[in-house]
């Protein structure tokens, strides 16, 4: 069965960077994409971006452009999301989700979420 | 960006009664390939979101058939024919037709 297992919770200071991993299993990694979605405490879902696991093409939310980088390691079927210059309003649970290869927002399977807390 | 507007934002429902959530987009969600990339997600308390419906009206495996999706263009609906206790949570629509993808604000379903 499809599984996405994310790395553990992180606490970071403002201005630091965080890198969250998402290890996929149960399907052919390079036949799909990965989208990242975050959820601030008590808030709704926010789409952050998408990466094709086939060729590394990406599409990011404009508000995060310049601060976010999504990558994949096909040898380990793992996707990564790095967010830099962290601010307090980046405090959220970060989810990875399997998406279509073309990035249609299909989000058919989700990871368990990674809580990132930004606090001085 | 395409704005997704859900209503209502809060939905108290009696067990066994039907429920309906509307989702409207600020632009047509029909892509040039003829598909409409409008999906519905359920997030139960303390859990990750789970997809219920994809491309407007297609069920995911394991999703009870009391859930159904319909609509076209800019107007979409998620219906629950008979609400059960396990349906409590927040429901989101999301469009994947246009970049950036966008979610609705969420509709919180609770039992009256």
As given in the structure block, the two tokens for residue B104 are 């609705």
| Predicted confidence (pLDDT) per residue in A28-49, tens digit | 999 999 999 999 999 999 999 9
User: B54 and A106 in contact by Cβ < 8 A?
Assistant: yes
Tell me chain B's radius of gyration from C-alpha atoms. Answer: 13
Asked if pLDDT for residue B92 goes beyond 90, the answer is yes
**Per-residue pLDDT at A103 exceeds 90:** no
**Is the confidence at residue B103, as pLDDT, over 90?**
yes
pLDDT at A102: 87
Residue in B60, B97, B103 nearest the CB of A44:
B103
B96 φψ region: left (φ > 0), alpha (ψ -120 to 50), beta (else)? alpha
- Cβ pair B43:A45 closer than 8 A: yes
What's the rounded mean pLDDT across residues A66-86?
Answer: 98
- Flag if A46 and B103 touch (Cβ within 8 Å): yes
What would the pLDDT profile of B55-91 be if each residue is shown by its tens digit? Answer: 999 998 899 999 999 999 999 999 999 999 999 999 9
Residues in chain A: 120
Interface test with B, best of A59, A64, A102, A104 (most B CBs within 10 A): A104
Q: A107, B41: Cβ pair inside 8 Å? A: yes
Distance from CA of B90 to the nearest CA of A (A): 9
User: What is the rounded CA–CA span in Å between residue B6 and residue B106?
Assistant: 7
Element (H or E) spanning B72, and its range? strand B67-72
Tell whether the model's pLDDT for residue A69 goes beyond 90: yes
pLDDT, position B83: 98
A93 to chain B, closest Cα gap in Å: 10
């Amino acid at each position: 069965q499809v599984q996405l297992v994310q790395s553990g919770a992180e606490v970071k200071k403002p201005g630091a960077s965080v890198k969250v991993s998402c290890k996929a299993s149960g399907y052919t990694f390079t036949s799909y994409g990965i989208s990242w979605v975050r959820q601030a405490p008590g808030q709704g879902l926010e789409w952050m971006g998408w990466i094709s696991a086939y060729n590394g093409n990406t599409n990011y939310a404009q508000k995060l452009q310049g601060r976010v980088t999504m990558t994949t390691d096909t040898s380990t079927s793992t996707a990564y999301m790095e967010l830099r210059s962290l601010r307090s309003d980046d405090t959220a649970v970060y989810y990875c989700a399997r998406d279509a290869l073309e990035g249609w927002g299909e989000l058919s399977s989700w990871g368990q979420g990674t809580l990132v807390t930004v606090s001085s | 960006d395409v704005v997704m507007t859900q209503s209502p934002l809060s939905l108290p429902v009696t067990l066994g009664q039907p429920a309906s959530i509307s989702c409207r987009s600020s632009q047509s969600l029909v892509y040039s390939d003829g598909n409409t990339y409008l999906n519905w997600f359920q997030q139960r308390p303390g859990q990750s979101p789970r997809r219920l419906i994809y491309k407007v009206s297609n069920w995911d495996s394991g999703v009870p058939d009391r859930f159904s999706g319909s609509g076209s263009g800019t107007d979409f609906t998620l219906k629950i024919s008979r609400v059960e206790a396990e349906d409590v949570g927040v429901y989101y629509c999301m469009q994947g037709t246009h970049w950036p993808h966008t979610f609705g604000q969420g509709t919180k379903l609770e039992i009256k």
